[in-house]
């Protein structure tokens, strides 16, 4: 919305020309600078923003972040309230549909997801083709992309029914694919979904069921997992969501777009950080070694994984909630010796000028790995645990992008730094 005086007056000192650039919603449109030329042959000014440090890529009504004050809201509801009162499936509905469901809507949503948890047997055969030691995130990346070959109707992205059924399928099948990957790592038979169980309990059953006829999840573990899923569901325009939106902007099917998100989340600076945190804590080895490690970080030889954030310049509200969920899980599983190292790291870092001056606080990944480790998961599964709930955020953002009249295929420009007009030299003369 443009108010009076809500504009920039820009003078191009190369030509002395002055321009009025409207300010809308705290931004100026980058295309407004194309008119600023030195002559008619000039392409015009572009904005340059590697890694999008200060660029809004879209309008979105899904997730609100206030990094300075550590605020996170899904569709306007504070994350603390949702973690305390909601369930992951209810939050997934909220992210996708924009409002909390009434009981009839939630029952139908839950029913639809429950009856779509199975995957085609060929997907199982596809996953069994991986090496015994394949990283489960690589397996998930590949199998989500493979789903696009089983649902060719997914290319009908203009069809609201097709968008709806792919949304259901992705949210429903992600835990099944994740659990298949986990069982593959262990060389154990894959478990099929049990539709009598709730979403987190069904996932636990597919992970851990052995010879018992009926897997019965521990309700404390099931609730802790549901809270973790709520906390990881969406986070506005993070790296993996940007990948989903950018790939999805080519009008490819949502499975291929979400597979791109899985690929981005795999990276150690993003969803792979929870695995990197555990490896870091194991490498530190004891509380006594923490000061030496911190010194290594300050010397630039180490990175304190699980700390820092592009948006949060305050404590990540999700880290605070996960830290308390640790206690609930450890009540069942017994505490982790790495917890003491983590709390000592946090204590020192929150007091040390190096971290304080850079506004580095624990993020969502700092404590989550301790819970997954306590649940007996191999570290390679940790980013997979992030991908399961983030699927609802990715698909909500994809749905918003495909319906946004302002969105076109993503195609940034560049600053060309290479050579021009070179003559080809025949091989025998080089």
Give the interface with ligand SDX as residue ranges (CB under 6 A). 235, 238-239, 269-270, 273, 297, 303-311, 358, 360, 363-365
309 among known catalytic residues: yes
Return the HEC string of 353-384. Answer: HHHHHCCCCECCHHHHHHHHHHCCCCHHHHHH
In three-state secondary structure terms, 74 is: strand
H/E segment holding residue 256: helix 254-265
Residue 73 CB, shortest distance to ligand SDX, in Å, is 14
Residue number, 205 or 306, with CB nearest to ligand SDX: 306
Residue 24 CB, shortest distance to ligand SDX, in Å, is 24
Residues in the chain: 430
Which two tokens mark 63?
């997730």
Nearest residue (beta carbon) to ligand SDX? 308
184 among known catalytic residues: no
218, HSE (Cβ side, Cα atoms, 13 Å):
12
Residue number, 226 or 275, with CB nearest to ligand SDX: 275
Residue 69 CB, shortest distance to ligand SDX, in Å, is 15
What letter does residue 288 receive in the DSSP assignment?
A: G
270 among known catalytic residues: yes
Active-site option among 184, 234, 309, 316: 309
Residue 142 CB, shortest distance to ligand SDX, in Å, is 22
Active-site option among 97, 116, 120, 270: 270
Residue 58 CB, shortest distance to ligand SDX, in Å, is 15
- Hey, what long-range contacts does 327-333 have (CB within 8 A, 24 or more apart)? 328/220, 328/223, 328/224, 329/220, 329/221, 329/224, 329/371, 329/374, 329/375, 330/374, 331/220, 332/218, 332/220, 332/221, 333/221, 333/374, 333/375, 333/376
Residue number, 148 or 397, with CB nearest to ligand SDX: 397
Residue number, 110 or 363, with CB nearest to ligand SDX: 363
Residue number, 10 or 239, with CB nearest to ligand SDX: 239
CA angle 104–216–375, rounded 5-degree value: 105
| Cα(402)–Cα(163) distance, integer angstroms | 10
In three-state secondary structure terms, 204 is: helix
Active site residues: 270, 309, 365
């Amino acid at each position: 919305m443009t108010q009076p005086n809500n504009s920039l007056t820009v003078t191009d000192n190369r030509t002395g020309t002055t321009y009025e650039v409207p300010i809308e919603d705290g931004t100026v449109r980058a295309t407004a600078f194309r008119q600023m030329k030195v002559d008619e042959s000039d392409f015009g000014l572009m904005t340059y923003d590697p890694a999008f440090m200060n660029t809004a890529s879209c309008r979105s009504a899904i997730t609100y972040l206030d990094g300075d004050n550590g605020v996170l809201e899904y569709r306007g509801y504070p994350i603390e309230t949702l973690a305390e009162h909601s369930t992951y499936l209810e939050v997934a509905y909220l992210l996708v549909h924009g409002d909390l469901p009434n009981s009839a809507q939630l029952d139908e949503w839950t029913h639809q997801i429950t009856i779509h948890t199975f995957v085609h047997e060929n997907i199982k055969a596809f996953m069994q083709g991986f090496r015994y030691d394949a990283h489960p995130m690589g397996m998930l990346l590949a199998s989500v992309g493979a789903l696009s070959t089983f649902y060719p109707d997914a290319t009908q992205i203009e069809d609201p029914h097709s968008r709806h059924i792919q949304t259901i399928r992705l949210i429903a099948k992600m835990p099944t694919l994740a659990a298949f990957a986990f069982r593959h790592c262990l060389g154990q038979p894959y478990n099929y979904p049990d539709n009598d169980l709730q979403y987190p309990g069904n996932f636990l059953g597919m992970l851990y069921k052995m010879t018992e006829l009926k897997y019965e999840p521990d309700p404390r573990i099931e609730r802790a997992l549901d809270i973790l899923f709520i906390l990881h569901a969406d986070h506005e325009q993070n790296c993996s969501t940007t990948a989903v939106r950018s790939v999805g902007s080519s009008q490819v099917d949502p499975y291929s777009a979400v597979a791109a998100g899985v690929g981005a989340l795999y990276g150690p600076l993003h969803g792979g950080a929870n695995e990197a945190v555990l490896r870091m804590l194991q490498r530190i080895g004891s509380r006594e070694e923490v000061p030496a490690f911190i010194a290594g970080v300050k010397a630039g030889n180490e990175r304190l994984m699980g700390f820092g954030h592009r948006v949060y310049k305050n404590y990540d509200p999700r880290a605070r909630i996960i830290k308390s969920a640790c206690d609930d899980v450890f009540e069942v599983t017994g505490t982790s010796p790495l917890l003491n190292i983590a709390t000592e790291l946090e204590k020192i870092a929150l007091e040390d000028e190096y971290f304080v001056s850079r506004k580095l606080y624990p993020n969502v990944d700092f404590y989550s790995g301790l819970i997954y480790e306590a649940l007996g998961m191999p570290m390679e599964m940790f980013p997979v645990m992030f991908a399961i709930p983030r699927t609802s955020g990715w698909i909500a953002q994809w749905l918003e992008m495909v319906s946004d009249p302002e969105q076109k295929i993503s195609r940034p420009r560049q600053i060309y730094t290479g050579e021009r007009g070179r003559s080809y030299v025949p091989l025998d003369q080089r």
